[in-house]
Amino acid sequence: MDIGFIGLGSMGHAMAANLLRAGHQVSVWNRSPDKARDLVREGARLAERACDVAPASGIVVTMLSDDAALRDVVQGEHGIGQRLGEGGIHVSMSTVSPQTAQDLSALHAARGTHYVAAPVFGRPDAAAAAKLFVLCAGPQAARQAVQPALEAMGQRVFELGDDAAAANVLKLSGNFMLMAAIESLAEAMTLGERYGLPRERTAEVLTQSIFPAPAMVNYGRQIAQHSYQPAGFKLSLGLKDADLVLGAARKVAMPMPLAQLVQARLLSALARQRGDMDWSAAAIGVSEDAGLQATPATRA
């Protein structure tokens, strides 16, 4: 397939590389072009402007930070919206609001193109191993057409129907559970630490008995060791997701008190210059509130 790819950050770079490895023709664009260099060596074509990646009636994948970046890449001066030909498909894999999915779906439909929402679960290591879980929603024929591309990037594609926003709602629900898990792991380990239990021991016992989920195991290890750099998922982007969760809940008049708590935790971490750390660095605030220093040296 002839595929355009926009957004070569921690996730997008690895995803574009997997499309290339699967034998697709890939054109790439990134705001900072340096990040495309090795992909070009592997056979990608580097586009000068976002709109230049769009193959006529082909597929364009976007993997960008947030709603504003996505809207700019679609609707901005050199946006793909201008160039994607009739029947073209925009596969939008960033974590964005359900509202943006609805707006962009309408915009594409008015131009005779299609919008498929395909946000993912999995961190950069999973992206590199083509092990992402893809949540896919949008017009059925377009979803079918992009299956080979999604399968080249992920281990499983969950089909969620014709309404693109559904995929984004589910992605936000999952990230809400992850941020709550980080908070609960940090509180559990810190409580143990105050009573003399090594953090690693608490993480080990809890994740090998009642909570053996991969996310609990992996975040448990990181939080036990206070190991937050380099970031797999930046805390600033985690805060963006907490805001998106609460925005989506507000729209349907649904209180989410736990989401408010973790949003405040992430906001406080941002104020303490931790925005570029992994979002599990929210756990530092839990230690600080308990009068402990959150450095690897505090490990018992």
Supply the residues annotated as catalytic: 171
Binding mask 219-238 for ligand NAP (x = CB under 6 A): -------------xxx--x-
Residue 168 is a binding residue for ligand NAP (CB under 6 A): no
Binding mask 17-46 for ligand NAP (x = CB under 6 A): -------------xxx--x-----------
Residue 124 is a binding residue for ligand NAP (CB under 6 A): yes
Give the position of tokens 């997701």.
Answer: 241
Per-residue tokens: 75: 């609707």
**Smallest gap from residue 7 Cβ to ligand NAP (A):** 4
**Smallest gap from residue 172 Cβ to ligand NAP (A):** 10
Residue 245 is a binding residue for ligand NAP (CB under 6 A): no
> What Å distances lie between residue 10 and 63, 157, 263, 295, CA to CA?
10, 21, 23, 25
Candidate list 3, 36, 53, 69; residue touching ligand NAP; CB under 6 A? 69
Q: Specify the residue, 64 or 190, whose C-beta has the smaller distance to ligand NAP.
A: 64
- Whether cis (ω within 30° of 0) applies to the bond prior to 230 is yes
Residue 123 is a binding residue for ligand NAP (CB under 6 A): yes
Residue 63 is a binding residue for ligand NAP (CB under 6 A): yes
Residue 62 is a binding residue for ligand NAP (CB under 6 A): no
Angle between helices 140-153 and 12-21 (to 10 degrees): 90
> What Å distances lie between residue 217 and 150, 178, 296, CA to CA?
27, 12, 18
Q: Do 11 and 118 touch, CB atoms closer than 8 A?
A: no
Q: Do 279 and 262 touch, CB atoms closer than 8 A?
A: no
Q: Which helix (H) or strand (E) holds 185?
A: helix 164-194
Q: How far apart are CA 2 and CA 87, in angstroms?
A: 14
Residue 12 is a binding residue for ligand NAP (CB under 6 A): yes
Q: Specify the residue, 74 or 186, whose C-beta has the smaller distance to ligand NAP.
A: 74
Give the largest Cα separation in the chain, rounded: 64
**Binding region for ligand NAP (CB under 6 A):** 7-12, 30-32, 35, 63-65, 69, 72-73, 94-95, 120, 123-124, 232-234, 237
